[in-house]
Amino acid sequence: MAISSRAAELRAAGEPVIGYGAGEPNFPTPEHVVEAAVAAARDPRWHKYSPASGLPDLRAAVAKANTAHSGFATEPANVVISPGGKSAVYAAYMALLDPGDEVLLPAPFWVTYPEASVLCDAVTVPIATTVESGFKVTVEQLDAAKTDRTKMLVFVSPSNPTGAVYSPAEVAEIGRWAAENGVWVLTDEIYDRLVYGDAEYSSMPAVAPEIADRCIVVNGVSKTYAMTGWRVGWLIAPIEVAKAVGRLQSHSTSNVANVSQMAALAALTGPQDAVGVMHAAFDRRRMAMHAALGRIPGVVAPEPEGAFYAYPDVEGLLGTDIGGRRVATSMELAALLLDEAKIAVVPGEAFGSPGSVRLSFALGDDDLAEGLERWRALVG
């Protein structure tokens, strides 16, 4: 937040700040999706309350799409439509966690996961991963962190913030471990369509069916269809959990706006051309970013395999003088890059992983190249 606030101040003063912090596609929502929303807004049917768990047609479309894409047979009754993926995460926590329950959370992690635990009076147990491991957690690490209070594992592939993608074999091994230990798994698959190169997306309940009755899948339309502001996510869960989340939503959020739900239905069932266009652009940009980061002294940058983030290790720059200033932490490095190079990155402290920074490649090609050249020039 401090970096974002400072970046906004500099932009307001006319400084040419290039931001790498965006967690959303820099594309418009596909036109046919927008037109579906316009039509829905004009239809009086959608001016009223609707079921708290989501419109039946959308739940059915999610079930069909998930079955086809992941290979995990999904029924509409197991689907709950939520006001964005973040709300689905929170609702799943509320349905399952009691005060004092422990949640295993591999780090780096998206900032909302530990805060959802706080709201449930549960306890987050971070598990550190490293650049050498590809920012992937192992079964041995999970076993060492597990206690008799462990209730849930949060598993994310493709990953925000690292761009790491677990192989199907790795996903299956972790799923089997969770099943054998009676641990629930919340698997966040919001970036499931953004996988590149030789990496392969796999859904845990599909490759480890033994965990299916203790697994919650979170997803939505925001990243795949450039619909972050429409606020439509969902979870897929065992029936009793789905019912509990539906009851929770009936007394908290009620239904997601019907216009947004109809837009999401059009996204899932309509032409998919825009998805391919965005994927190709992100793939091109990730390779450009990876190459440019590799030219910056002191930076170790794993090649992103999914999502639209790079997560370079910057330990080689810490404790050095850059632009006449000594930086000791990745937070200080982010502040320096903003002040001196006019580029905004997110320091690893935000993700429970100091010593790295996150950069999104969901920005224009020219800005992407220009900002990283400024960084190289500053430290090179």
pLDDT tens profile 133-181 = 999 999 999 999 999 999 999 999 999 999 999 999 999 999 999 999 9
What is the spatial distance between Cα 3 and Cα 205, in angstroms, rounded to a whole number?
A: 38
Please check whether residues 238 and 287 belong to one and the same domain. Answer: no
Q: Which of 242, 269, 296 is the last residue of a domain?
A: 269
Please check whether residues 294 and 194 belong to one and the same domain. Answer: no
Q: pLDDT tens digits, the chain, 380 residues: what are they?
A: 677 788 888 889 999 999 998 889 999 999 999 999 999 999 999 999 999 999 999 999 999 999 999 999 999 999 999 999 999 999 999 999 999 999 999 999 999 999 999 999 999 999 999 999 999 999 999 999 999 999 999 999 999 999 999 999 999 999 999 999 999 999 999 999 999 999 999 999 999 999 999 999 999 999 999 999 999 999 999 999 999 999 999 999 999 999 999 999 999 999 999 999 999 999 999 999 999 999 999 999 999 999 999 999 999 999 999 988 999 999 999 999 999 999 999 999 999 999 999 999 999 999 999 999 999 999 98
Please check whether residues 301 and 202 belong to one and the same domain. Answer: no
Q: Where are the alpha helices (DSSP H) in the chain?
A: 2-12, 31-42, 56-70, 85-96, 112-119, 139-145, 168-180, 204-207, 239-250, 258-269, 273-294, 330-336, 365-379
Check which CATH number belongs to the domain holding 352 and give it.
Answer: 3.90.1150.10
Please check whether residues 323 and 237 belong to one and the same domain. Answer: no
Helix, strand or coil for residue 210? Answer: helix
Strand order of the β-sheet with 102-107 is 79-82, 233-236, 215-220, 184-188, 150-156, 102-107, 123-128
Q: Which of 269, 302, 335 is the last residue of a domain?
A: 269
Q: What angle do CA 322, 3, 25 make, to 5 degrees?
A: 110
The total of structural domains in the chain comes to: 2
Sorted by sequence, the CB contacts under 8 Å of residue 47 that are 6+ apart come out as: 258
Residue 346, token pair as written in the block:
């997110």
What is the spatial distance between Cα 126 and Cα 100, in angstroms, rounded to a whole number?
A: 15
Please check whether residues 251 and 326 belong to one and the same domain. Answer: no
Report CA dihedral (245, 38, 363, 225) to the nearest 10 degrees. Answer: 50
Q: Where in the sequence is the domain holding 183, given as residue range(s)?
A: 32-269
Which has the closest alpha carbon to 159: 120, 131, 125, 122? 131
Report CA dihedral (278, 265, 228, 249) to the nearest 10 degrees. Answer: -150
Please check whether residues 252 and 329 belong to one and the same domain. Answer: no
pTM (2 decimals)? 0.96
Q: Which of 230, 247, 269 is the last residue of a domain?
A: 269
Please check whether residues 136 and 46 belong to one and the same domain. Answer: yes
Cα 60 from chain centre: 24
Please check whether residues 344 and 251 belong to one and the same domain. Answer: no
The neighbour count for residue 197, using CB atoms within 10 Å, is 13
Please check whether residues 89 and 198 belong to one and the same domain. Answer: yes
Check which CATH number belongs to the domain holding 253 and give it.
Answer: 3.40.640.10
Please check whether residues 96 and 238 belong to one and the same domain. Answer: yes
